[in-house]
Amino acid sequence: MDFSDKIKYVRDKLEMSQEDLARALNVSFASINRWENRKAKPIKIAKAAFDTFCESNGISFDDTMKRPGNKEGGA
């Protein structure tokens, strides 16, 4: 799962708009939009903020990568 897929997954799981997630991560809406649409990659500090946000909301990508049908994992 690449970063853009993670952004979309988290937004879907938490029922957040791009604006909501941008506010939560203290980044611009445009940043979230570019990350999700594979137009840009986050800087390290933004990725760290996203990882912390996911942890605080009980989201682990280890589990999602093991699901059947996932490109990077599963049986």
State the pLDDT at residue 75.
37
Contacts of 12 (CB under 8 A, 6+ apart): none
Query: How many separate domains does the chain show?
Result: 1
Q: What domain range is 28 assigned to?
A: 3-65
Confidence bin at 63 (pLDDT 50/70/90): low
Q: Rounded to 5, what percent of the chain is helix, strand, coil? A: 60, 0, 40
Q: Residue 2 has which token pair? A: 């690449």
Confidence bin at 61 (pLDDT 50/70/90): confident
Is 15 within the bounds of a domain? yes
Could you tell me the CATH number of the domain that includes residue 50?
A: 1.10.260.40
3-state secondary structure 50-68: HHHHHHHCCCCHHHHHCCC
Is 24 within the bounds of a domain? yes
State the pLDDT at residue 72.
45
